[in-house]
Amino acid sequence: MAKRAAPEVNAGSMADIAFLLLIFFLVTTTIEKDKGLLRSLPPIDDSEVEPPIIKQKNLFTVLINRRNQLLVEDEQMELKDLRQAAIEFLDNGGGTNAEGASCDYCQGKRSPSSSDHPDKAIISMKHDRETSYEKYIDVQNELVAAYNFLREREATRLYKRYYPNEDKVYAAMLAEKEKNQFKKDEELNERIETIKKLYPLKLSEAEPDKN
């Protein structure tokens, strides 16, 4: 008997099969895009060093009680006013920093009863154990927004010429750094550091009372 050649397999239905699989994966795919507020916790410090004394005027206290009400600098405040209040406090520039330099880029009121210098200005936040997490994140968000607003303003003032087409210069710089994470751009990093140094993020959180 003569050997018969194997008949050609019909590949016409290949596309149908592939489509079926494609639709399955299309439906099951969730491209995850998690975003959030990045914060650093303070390390545990067991040393017995006296904490430095901070002047009351350099401290911006934010308290949230168990009913989710805000107490800012001993006055009750609505959440929508918090950002502006924090900006005014940070940007006050009423005195000098540790090196004795005064804040020449601040545009605040220079009131002697508010913060001396952005270097010294500390936002201290404390919440109750029963505060809702949503409110807590809202407050964190407003405080970070205050810092971002000031950094954005300084970035626009200093580096606008490098980014003439961008509305948000600081955001554009950070985006560029993110994009070039595998090839370091020293100049860009230096500029970002400069901005961060002008308004260093000093946001301390006290532990809620145990009761």
Partner 1 sequence: MSKFKKGGKSELPAISTASLPDIVFMLLFFFMVATVMRDSSLMIENRLPSADQVEKLKKDRTTFIYAGKPSSQYKQFGEEPRIQFNDAFISVEDVQASVLQAQADMNEELKSKIVVGLKVDKDTHAGLVSDIKQELRKANTLKVMYIANAKAQQ
Question: How far apart are CB 42 and partner 1 at their closest, in Å?
Answer: 7
Question: How far apart are CB 201 and partner 1 at their closest, in Å?
Answer: 12
Pick the binder of partner 1 from 69, 97, 140, 156 (CB under 8 A): 140
**β-bridge partners, 203:** 123
Nearer to partner 1, 25 or 99 (CB): 25
Whether 133 contacts 140, CB under 8 Å: no
Interface with partner 1, residue 132, by CB under 8 A: yes
Window 175 to 204, contacts with partner 1 (CB under 8 A): 178
Nearer to partner 1, 32 or 99 (CB): 32
CA distance linking residue 136 with residue 144, whole number of Å: 12
- Pairing label, strands 203-206, 122-127: parallel
| Amino acid, res. 186 | E
Least Cα distance to 151 among 182, 188, 194, 108 occurs for: 194
- Evaluate the CA torsion angle 157, 171, 62, 60 in order and state its sign: negative
The footprint of partner 1 (CB under 8 A) covers 11, 14-15, 18-19, 21-22, 25-26, 28-44, 64, 127-138, 140-141, 144-145, 148, 178, 205, 207-208
